[in-house]
Amino acid sequence: MLAALISGTLAAPSLSLQIGTVPTPAALEVKARDLSLVCPGALFKAGGAQGTTLGNFEHVGLVSYASQFNSTNGATLNSGDGVFTVSAAEPAKENGVPNQGSELLNASQHQNAAGATLRGLAATNCQLPSNDIFLLGGATTTGREALLILRNTAQVDSTVSLEIFSEAGSVDAPGLNGIAVVSGKSTVVPLSGMVPKTKSFGVRVKATGGAVTAWIQQRTVRGLSAGGVDYVSPSPEAAKQQVIPGVFIRGTAQVSKLRAASADFEDLLPVLRVYVPGSSNATVTVQVVGATPATFGTVVRSTVNAGSVSDIEITGLKDGNYVALVSSDVPVQSAFRLSRVTATSAPDFTWIPAAQKFTGKRKLTVPNIGISKFCIYNEKTGVIEVIEVTPGSTYSFSGSEQPIYANLITDVDGTVANLSVLDQKNAGGKVSVNVR
């Protein structure tokens, strides 16, 4: 009898008991938030406008914006101080603004700084606020200043924590947590206080409360002379294959002369920066491909330790247009430092993040200054296109079954900057909910 009871007890989990009926899941439409893109505003100068006040950072110079808005279902655009927000018309507000992305709104900013110690072309896409951002680029060695810019346009305050990775791995330093970013304000964090005299690093920004936007403003000064300025913009998610179009090499002869004259010009060399986010070391192969048969590229292979950042120098390239193809046996993130040197102007540089792969329609409005060229790489055919576009125009990618990668490079009188081809949108759609 006891054996029978035990046997029955052990068999109990296979029985099914149901009281009443299981409710049918309810399908709910979740409204996407109105699309809002945020730019950092004019460049910051440490010490205030005069450079004499310790711990003070002020906007200096004039910034210009390039944007296009295509109204959908009566939607309107509100813009000011580098913030572009699309509002849905009534009664469409119930479902938000449909078809978000670059066809609805794309925006960027650019500034050609001409100060004694802040000189160069700095440009960046306006960002969709986020709670998790990764920035790959910058340095804090002698004469190199890296300022982390955090902007909060949400209705609530935000608290930010940072994870910083260098050549030695994860960085443990004071001030990484509890960074307050007040609603409607920007906070500037000098990274030299956390990673002093560091050649290579990447920064992960995590925000609680209001979502934020983030950039690294990178500046170079050699002696008393400005050596360029740019923004390090967010990198896409880690992947085993990444593509960086727009490696437009210029002034190689001038770079050789400057490097021979002083070691302080070593960072004019092209560099691929790689971060390995996982727990396994990465074997990284960089194939730099020329856009024409006359521009021979190169192939470089390197091992990068897990959890660390490494700079891979790309040597031997002649003047020409190239695309960097990055492959790894584990997912990585990558960015390319491109310098611009002429015989008549001070050096400048730009940090180009890996490009997003896409097949659908996208739009990007071109800065209204200088010479701008798209570099487009077709993943299936390997064809590289370089297309010069009219300043101030909006370029439309019509969409294709073959995935492509694209970046925009802008040159202004010996200065250089880049913009990514993005399709930023807030998520929305249908979800199933069981009510019990």
Global pTM value? 0.90
- The stretch 4-14 carries a mean pLDDT of 43
Using DSSP's 3-state secondary structure scheme, residue 430 falls into strand
- Give dist(CA 436, CA 250) in Å, integer: 66
- The stretch 403-411 carries a mean pLDDT of 98
On the question of pLDDT at 58 being above 60, the answer is: yes
On the question of pLDDT at 2 being above 90, the answer is: no
172-200 pLDDT, tens digit each = 999 999 999 999 999 999 999 999 999 99
**Structure-model confidence comparison of residues 10 and 178, the more confident one:** 178
- The stretch 138-165 carries a mean pLDDT of 98
Residues 6+ away with beta carbon under 8 Å from 409: 246, 248, 338, 350, 352, 372, 373, 375, 416, 417, 418
Q: Measured between alpha carbons, how far is residue 260 from residues 253, 285, 291, 316, 355 in Å?
A: 11, 29, 29, 16, 33
Q: Chain-centre distance of CA 294, in angstroms?
A: 31
On the question of pLDDT at 317 being above 80, the answer is: yes
DSSP classification of residue 72: -
Left if phi > 0, otherwise alpha if psi is -120 to 50, otherwise beta: which for 147?
beta
- The stretch 386-411 carries a mean pLDDT of 96
263-296 pLDDT, tens digit each = 999 999 999 999 999 999 999 999 999 999 989 8
In the prediction, which pLDDT does 56 show?
86
Greatest mean pLDDT among 66-80, 91-105, 142-156 lies in 142-156
The mean pLDDT value of the chain amounts to: 91
pLDDT classification of 12: cutoffs 50, 70, 90: very low
- Give dist(CA 75, CA 103) in Å, integer: 13
In the prediction, which pLDDT does 10 show?
42
350-361 pLDDT, tens digit each = 999 999 999 999
In the prediction, which pLDDT does 48 show?
61
In the prediction, which pLDDT does 17 show?
53
User: Could you tell me which of 333, 380, 344, 422 has the C-alpha nearest to residue 124?
Assistant: 422
In the prediction, which pLDDT does 425 show?
94
- Give dist(CA 301, CA 287) in Å, integer: 9
Which of 66-80, 204-218, 407-421 has the least mean pLDDT? Answer: 66-80
Q: What angle do CA 250, 423, 384 make, to 5 degrees?
A: 35
- Give dist(CA 123, CA 269) in Å, integer: 21
pLDDT classification of 4: cutoffs 50, 70, 90: very low
Parallel, antiparallel or unpaired: strands 384-389 and 371-378: antiparallel
DSSP characters for 103-114?
A: TTEEEEEEEEEE
Which of 85-94, 249-258, 286-295, 384-393 has the least mean pLDDT? Answer: 85-94
Q: Which residue do the tokens 């040597």 mark?
A: 315
On the question of pLDDT at 49 being above 90, the answer is: no
In the prediction, which pLDDT does 99 show?
80
What six digits make up the tokens of 160?
């930010």
13-38 pLDDT, tens digit each = 444 555 556 566 665 566 778 999 99
